[in-house]
Amino acid sequence: MSKIDHSLFSANKHALEKEYEICPQCGSELVIRNSKSGPFLGCASYPKCDFIRPLAHHDSNEIKILEDSACPQCSKPLVVKNGRYGMFIGCTGYPQCHYIANENEEKQNEEVLPSCPKCKKGHLVARSNKFGKVFYSCDCYPSCKYTLNNKPVEHPCPECNWPIVIERNMANGTLLQCPQKSCMHKLASTE
């Protein structure tokens, strides 16, 4: 059996411990510190100097500026950014302009959805959650919380006279069904 060099497995030293950066506030060396939320760089003369910085640099989340496209709200160029839920297209004038391009905007504008059967004031619109799954809800959201998981079709239910039915894609084709839990009437499949 070979001998093991236990100095290689020392737990009190970190591989990046000697980064040799200096503190911008006091000029001391920056060292890796640990907290409950993970490692960070902190000043070696801690009680006197309280400078800290995250280990990973996330200075810029902008990936590429799209010179040929302008923001429809403020006409500044759009930029591809990396955000919390992945990549998206937003405005370069971010703090003043909060425009974010929606990849489904063109599809949503072409598709005419029925009005909300619950509040009868708003219209149903297609939205997507943070995972990209599309659902349909009323555009008067805080006051009306009517949502559907399947695409609504303006066709009254023959059983309960609810003004819309939903389109469900089944293995043998598309099926129209009443969204009311008390009814759930299924209509003939459409081709």
Ranking 5-9, 41-45, 99-103 by mean pLDDT, the lowest is 5-9
**Which pLDDT does position 46 carry in this prediction?**
87
Is 3 in contact with 10 (CB distance < 8 Å)? no
Q: Judge whether residue 117 has pLDDT over 70.
A: yes
Mean pLDDT of 9-20: 54
- pLDDT number for residue 108: 45
Higher-pLDDT residue of 85, 143: 143
User: What average pLDDT does range 133-150 have in this prediction?
Assistant: 87
Give the model's confidence band at 106: pLDDT under 50 very low, under 70 low, under 90 confident, else very high.
Answer: very low
Q: Using a cut of 0.75, tell me whether the model's pTM lies above it.
A: no
Q: State mean pLDDT over 20-42.
A: 84
Mean pLDDT computed over 160-174 = 85
pLDDT value for 14? 52
Given a cut of 80, is residue 57 above it in pLDDT? no
State yes or no: pLDDT of 33 exceeds 80: yes
Tell me the pLDDT band of 92, cut-offs 50, 70 and 90: confident
Percent of the chain's residues with pLDDT above 70: 78
Task: Give Cα 139 distance to the centre of its chain.
Answer: 19
pLDDT at 129: 83
Provide the mean pLDDT of the chain. Answer: 78
